[in-house]
Amino acid sequence: MTSELQVDPVRAADPADERLHVCVVCTGNICRSPIGEQVLRRAVEDAGLADQVVVTSAGTGNWHVGAGAHHGSVRVLADAGYPTDHTARQLTRDDLAGIDLVLAADRDHRALVKRMLAEPDRDKVRLLRDFDPDADGDEIPDPYYGPHQGFVDVLDMTAAAMPGVIAEIRRRLAERD
């Protein structure tokens, strides 16, 4: 099943786009954040918010810019019925000007992105697992070097956070009205 939501794989800040922009961030934008992007995109659609929210992903580093998602991410997404098209990109300061909520995979990503922002904007950077009240930790571990189960775990952790993320998106949209 493919997503009906507009796909913006290399979206930079666009002041004319008034939709709430949520970006999922990991290290290279090939493992955790592509999974997060697809799972969140589906959750946004299911919540009836597709016309109000744009979902993207990016990496903090440039190692994989232009590459597709890691084969483990592609496999776990395909097995769960999510789209697998992806082009890795690196997050920039210019991107951050047009992003309303950054969902970081781990504390290092959160810290790095916060350093890219001025003080008043730093509160838009959160850990993805902050939105899962039953999480047994605050980070989504990097599955890059591990077995396939690590990718399955990333998908499960990400999906568990979606109700909380959607509630936060609804809260932010209500603040705009």
Query: Looking at residue 162, which CATH number applies to its domain?
Result: 3.40.50.2300
Helices vs strands, H then E, count in the chain: 5, 4
Rounded distance between C-alpha atoms, residue 124 and residue 12, angstroms: 17
What's the number of domains the chain is made of? 1
Is there a domain that residue 10 lies in? no
| Predicted confidence (pLDDT) at residue 95 exceeds the cutoff of 80 | yes
User: Which of 7, 12, 27, 24 has the alpha carbon at shortest distance from 67?
Assistant: 27
Residue ranges with strand state E in 6-153: 20-26, 53-59, 101-104, 125-127
Q: What is the pLDDT of residues 138-171, one digit of tens each?
A: 999 999 999 999 999 999 999 999 999 999 999 9
As annotated, the active-site residues are 26, 32, 142
Task: Kindly state whether residue 140 falls inside one of the protein's structural domains.
Answer: yes
Q: What is the span of the domain harbouring residue 61?
A: 24-176
Please give the pLDDT value at position 14: 64
Q: Residue 5 and residue 43: Cα distance in Å, rounded? A: 11
The predicted model gives 107-117 an average pLDDT of 97
Q: Tell me the C-alpha distance between 177 and 173, whole Å.
A: 7
Inside any domain, residue 68: yes
pLDDT at 26: 98
> Whole-structure pTM over 0.85, yes or no?
yes
Return the pLDDT at 119.
Answer: 86
The mean predicted confidence, pLDDT, of the chain is: 92
Q: Does a structural domain hold residue 88?
A: yes
